[in-house]
A and B are shown apart, each in its own frame.
Chain A
Amino acid sequence: MNLEYLGLKEIRGSLVILENVKEAAYDEIVEIRLGEGSHSDARSKIGRVIQVDGEVAVVLVFEGTADFSLTNTVTRFTGRPMTIPLSPDILGRTFDGMGRPTDNLGTVPARTRRSINGTAINPIHRDYPRSYISTGLSAIDGLATLIRGQKLPIFSGDGLPHDRLAAQIAENVQTEDSVVVFAAMGVKHDTARFFRRAFEESGALARSVLFLNLASDPATERIITPRCALTAARYLAFDCEMDVLVILTDMTAYAEALREISSARGEIPSRKGYPGYLYSDLASLYEQAGILKGKRGSLTQIPILTMPGDDITHPVADLSGYITEGQIVLDRALHQRGIYPPIGVLPSLSRLMKDGIGPGKTRADHPALAKALFSSYAQVGDARAILSIVGEEDLSETDKKMLAFGQRFEEEFIHQHHGESRTMEQTLNLAGKILL
């Protein structure tokens, strides 16, 4: 097959339309290179067929259509979906957002090639996750326990320390069999550098795989980046049987790229201009987390998303929350008071926690301690609301006690010093102590 076509019928943003195409397959990958008459020396660009109608094919070009004219392109249909080469040697490597090496270490010797489309997992092949991971952070371990194979996002806002928190979790959960797959979508150079340095310092870099699409890279490429990362992660978890932690950041930038493409296609938008299929699309990424029956490895996901205006009802946060198994919500007020990690424990939740804690797992009294902390801390909010109206003198004894508890809870339990890592035992002891 591999037919080549000269020229285009139309160029609209990242979309190009070709005519008189014989047998373009839906979702296949095309390569477009600039022929004679162009003044660009760019290598060929990759695109994907997103709609076919008879002999007309609509192609989404991932790296932008700059320098394209209607006549200077040569398009080759590859007849296959997008795949990436995989082998255990991807550990320690850095790739761009399309899965191409950027570390000057040459190509990856492929033991296998996998489609990045990530097939759905039959629920009967899943093992229900029930073993906890200690992150060393009391607010998470005690109250929103992370479970191996879970997808637990960090809901954050601009200027909050989500990157530091994610890097710290990655460092603390490291074991001999664990690896980190990191995917950056539309993040700043500084952020990418921060993670790279953090992995370097903790010695995790050699056991990490990085896929970087930076803020200056083409936006359309962002929809490929997490798929490359998760394909690599699934290979490491279920072929090489490793415990894989996947950090995806920033899901908001990913969703914006999706919106940009949807708008170029003239699709009917749902909320805030995002396409109606945002839920399904996000789910196709998040649902790749899990544990499979009969396999030793696991795929745990920590996606990071920044909520514009700290709005938890923003479509990206909202739809993510419906798919993921809980969320860690960062709180700006705590951050401003210097509390780290600034985790708002009431809106935070780990759905899988109930089956991963308690006797034989963490400690018999863990569920009761967590419940007591939650219900006490929920009353702190009420007491603070009353305080702001009536002043301290007119508070009842109970309200005063609640205020004192709230302060200790935030400053002693949630707050941890830089680099401080607590064992589960320490966290639970501390919980018992401040509840007295």
Chain B
Amino acid sequence: MAVGYIRGINGPVLTVIPQGGDFFVSERVRVGARGLAGEVISLRRAGSETAVVQVYEDTAGLKPGERVEGTGYPLSIRLGPGLVGHIFDGIGRQLDGLGKGSVPGGRKWPVRMLVKPGDVLDSGSVWAEVAETKSITYRALLPPNSRGIVQDCAPEGRYSAEEVLLTLDAPGGRVSLALGQHWPVRVPRPVGRRLSLARGLVTGQRVIDSLFPIAKGGVAAIPGGFGTGKTMTQHQLAKWCDADLIVYIGCGERGNEMAEVLEEFSRLTDPRTGQSMMARTVLVANTSDMPVAAREASIYTGIAIAEGYRDMGYHVAVMADSTSRWAEALRELSGRLDEMPAEEGYPAYLASRLSAFYERAGYVRNVNGTEGSITIVGAVSPQGADFSEPVTQNTKRFVRCFWALDRRLAYARHFPAIDWMASYSDYAAELVHGDVARHRQRMLDILFEEHRILEVAKLVGTEALPESQRVTLKMAKTIREEFLQQNAYDPEDTFTPPERQVEMMEAMVRLT
């Protein structure tokens, strides 16, 4: 393995002089006597050879001359049973256990083997199953781009994630597999092919499902100033949407919010399975007081976990709260690297990083023939609630569903504060048909008409308006208060099934 010594320290960024072996970009490294986790981000040979390393932990106390060791692996997540129902830090280390690995090592899982010696396996073949939680069955897959003939396989029984259970005779030689498998978080897992986005992700939130729906495999952004309810909306989606698995990434957000999710999701029951919400949730937390480099990584850790479960044939919804904190982490690291900034200090590669992340969403046919999807809902925290800032603008280019939160609505305690004038969903055309589409359009027409009338009413007063316009105002008020507003704390109102939403829409537009 490569070895080097620290030369310079600037916050989480180190310059390292290699002394032997070759570091490679995105290699996971161990730094100093304390063995801090780090990653190589660039290499150069100008005079002497230098590696630039970002460190995922507090660098206070590090000194020049301390040793940096390569591990030979890129920054990876270990996919395996034991992820669901637990909370991990930005680089995939478990926060709610004693173990430091990505998957609790000691635990033995009851394994059902699905293959026998002589079977021919291909990329993505499922060779074993584990009841990971009451809601999720973990399926051990043959890694992408591999195949072979089963030579030896363990009998059914209880095994840890590290034990070798399967030996294959593969083209390149023998391959041994355990339940747990590493995957580099920055590399998208390959898919069979992408399918069109034709199935809705039902959220039970009326303004979303009925007016601005999102497809399974789609991407949505929730921009909004502070206090407009981004986190609240994401919590509602995480609780009620009809995905099989939720990956909730708390990226640079509050510690109390993660405590709340842990507490509340453990208590709540998933109406679709009758099990605890935590039984279908993975949490990745880099709270705002945790090191900034791990914030940059947390988004990738989360999406890599989602891809692992998608390949098993699940529909996964990823909540990323907040992508702005991730972008700011990029900016901070970029600044420490003395890179030339583009807009507002953000690096020029902000747009390409954002698009690469959002493109990992999709509804796909997996390499093993099953279907799965990843839906990404990213919160955006624009500075000064100004949607023209770089993160919001660049996000807008890559998402097809935009739920703009509005401060005025939030001040009036209209929740969810999704502004119908500024929001849109490109998926509506594919997801909403027939009568429902007509009702939807009628509702939007009434709301837009109200907006126009109110502009006039500001000048002349509502008394001076003609009768027909006053009727429109009354209808719009009903739509806003009875339909668009939804009380997340009311056990009945918090979730409205799609059929009920259609009935409500029909009733409201029939009044016209």
Contacts and interface: CB of A to CB of B under 8 A. Distances in A.
* Genuine A/B complex: yes
Nearest to B285: A123
B492 interface: no
B292 A280 contact: yes
Interface string B480-512: 000000000100000000000000000000000
A25 interface: yes
B289 interface: yes
A158 interface: no
Contacts of B9: 26, 51-53
A123 B95 contact: yes
A288 interface: yes
A395 interface: yes
A284 B289 contact: yes
Given A23-B63, A24-B63, A53-B7, A123 B331 contact: no
A92 B36 CA distance: 40
Interface stretch (A10-18, A168-176, A321-329): A321-329
Given A81-B60, A287-B289, A270 B255 contact: no
B370 interface: no
Contacts of A399: 461-462
B262 to A, nearest CB: 7
Given A23-B65, A53-B7, A395-B461, A378 B254 contact: no
Contact of B287 (A120, A271, A371): A120
Contact of A280 (B64, B250, B288, B341): B288
Interface in A62-81: 81
Contacts of A52: 8-10, 63-64
Contacts of A27: 59-61
A122 to B, nearest CB: 6
B226 A117 contact: no
Interface string A316-347: 00110111011100000000000000000011
B255 to A, nearest CB: 5
Nearest to B230: A322
Contacts of B136: none
A283 B252 CA distance: 9
B337 to A, nearest CB: 11
Nearest to B57: A120
- Interface SS of chain B: mixed
Interface stretch (B68-76, B378-386, B422-430, B443-451): B378-386
B328 interface: yes
Contact of A346 (B258, B344, B385, B412): B412
A436 interface: no
Contacts of B384: 271, 313-315, 318
A329 B184 CA distance: 46
Contacts of B383: 271, 313, 315, 318-319
Contacts of A374: 412-413
Nearest to A48: B60
Interface of A: 23-28, 51-55, 81, 117-124, 126-129, 149, 267-271, 276-277, 279-280, 283-284, 286-288, 290, 313-315, 318-319, 321-323, 325-327, 346-347, 349, 351-352, 354-355, 367, 371, 374-375, 378, 385-386, 389-390, 394-396, 399
10 contacts: A24-B64, A52-B8, A117-B58, A270-B344, A290-B255, A315-B383, A318-B384, A322-B381, A389-B461, A396-B461
